[in-house]
């Protein structure tokens, strides 16, 4: 018979994303409903090494549903990558009497969770990253809000690009994945989108599309670049050298991580947090909570970390089809 869990910990690790607080809130209140105490571990895995913690109750997580960032703070821990650091984390878990941990974050967070689980600490992961690059889930907390933040910024940039008849090159986040860039590019009607999953040819994929758009009467152009492709500044220079126009480059950066989470991220985070605690309470540990087809699923951590998430190239085909601009006239055949 499985031992009843009496006290669990919750932490947020790695890059923050909108909706992390909603997940923390759900974990705390579900734990209380299941008869457990909940301890917040501050500053990610590093907090387990330094014993940086705070007891959490229903009131302490009130009014955080709409807040961006994370009330538990977050950090990347080099100490946790060492055996000595992980053993210290285990000692902290034993000292606090933690029967399990809910770890909210991305790939690095889950690798830490796997290491801790191998030392005997039950862990359940909740995927929260604006990159949406976790293979075992269709969706990660924060992606939709980050997309909408980028869209709002680019819409504003388009206003000024139209006024000055210029080309804008915008770099969005996403680490080594192009999900954010492609989704945003379709939503803003970009002239071209460059993603790391697809090798690009500057002449074919950018310059020629700008030429066609200009021949069709367009006077402003929007190029969206995923950070995994390379520097938007360098791509802007290449465009200038190839076609003579001088693009204005904007790197959106960490603004995409901030802001109040939207409805999708609040609802998804709440459901994932709830099911994470239910998994622990039911003895189903060392897994990652995810979504597939709208349903909540559990995937063993080891299996989840081996899974790859592929960019849906049909979306790229959609982008190329609907953003192509046919010249207003046909060049005579030679």
Question: Three-state secondary structure along the chain?
Answer: CCCCCCEEEEEECCCCCCCHHHHHHHHHHHHHHCCCEEEEECCHHHHHHHCCEEEECCHHHCCCCCCCCCCCCCCCCCHHHCHHHHHHHHHHHHHHCCCEEEEEECHHHHHHHHHHHCCCCCEEEEEECCCCCCCCCCCCECHHHHHHHHHHHHHHHHHHHHHHCCEEEEEECCCCCCHHHHHHHHHHCCCEEECCCCCCCHHHHHHHHHHHHHHCCCCCEEEEEECCCCCHHHHHHHHHHHHCCCCEEEECHHHHHCCCCCHHHHHHHHHHHHHHHHHHHCCCCCEEEEEECCEEEEEEHHHHHHCCCCCCHHHHHHHHHHHCCCCCCCCCCC
- pLDDT score for 322: 85
Give the chain's domains with CATH numbers: 7-142+261-306 (3.40.50.450), 144-257 (3.40.50.460)
Q: How far apart are CA 228 and CA 11, in angstroms?
A: 27
Q: Average pLDDT by consecutive 10-residue portion of the chain (334 residues)?
A: 84 96 98 98 97 97 96 93 96 97 97 97 98 97 98 93 86 95 96 94 93 86 95 95 93 95 98 98 97 95 95 88 65 46
- pLDDT score for 160: 86
Q: How far apart are CA 319 and CA 209, in angstroms?
A: 12
- pLDDT score for 104: 98
* Active-site residue identified among 16, 52, 107, 131: 131
- pLDDT score for 332: 47
131 is catalytic: yes
- pLDDT score for 1: 46
């Amino acid at each position: 018979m499985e031992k009843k869990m009496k006290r669990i910990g919750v932490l947020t690790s790695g890059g923050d994303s909108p909706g992390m607080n909603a997940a923390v809130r759900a974990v705390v209140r579900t734990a209380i409903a299941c008869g457990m105490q909940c301890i917040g571990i501050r500053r990610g895995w590093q907090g387990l090494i330094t014993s940086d913690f705070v007891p959490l109750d229903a009131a302490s997580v009130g009014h955080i549903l709409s807040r961006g960032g994370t009330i538990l703070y977050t950090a990347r821990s080099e100490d946790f990558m060492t055996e000595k650091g992980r053993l210290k984390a285990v000692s902290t878990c034993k000292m606090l009497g933690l029967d399990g941990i809910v770890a909210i974050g991305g790939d690095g967070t889950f690798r830490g969770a796997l290491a801790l689980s191998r030392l005997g600490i039950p862990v359940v992961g909740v995927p929260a990253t604006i990159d949406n690059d976790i293979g075992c889930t269709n969706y990660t907390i924060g992606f939709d809000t980050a997309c909408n933040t980028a869209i709002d910024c680019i819409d504003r940039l388009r206003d000024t690009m139209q006024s000055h008849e210029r080309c804008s090159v915008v770099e969005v986040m996403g680490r080594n994945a192009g999900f954010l860039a492609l989704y945003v590019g379709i939503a803003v009607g970009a002239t071209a989108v460059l993603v790391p999953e697809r090798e690009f040819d500057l002449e074919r994929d950018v310059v020629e599309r700008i030429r066609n758009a200009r021949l069709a009467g367009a006077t402003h152009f929007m190029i969206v670049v995923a950070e995994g492709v390379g520097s938007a500044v360098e791509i802007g220079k290449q465009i200038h050298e190839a076609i003579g126009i001088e693009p204005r480059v904007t790197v959106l950066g960490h603004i995409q991580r901030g802001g109040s989470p939207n409805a999708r991220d609040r609802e998804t985070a709440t459901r994932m947090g709830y099911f994470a605690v239910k998994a622990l309470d039911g003895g189903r540990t060392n897994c990652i909570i995810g979504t597939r087809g709208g349903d909540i699923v559990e995937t063993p951590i080891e299996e989840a970390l081996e899974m790859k998430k592929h960019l849906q190239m049909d979306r790229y085909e959609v982008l190329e089809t609907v953003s192509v601009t046919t010249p207003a006239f046909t060049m005579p055949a030679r």
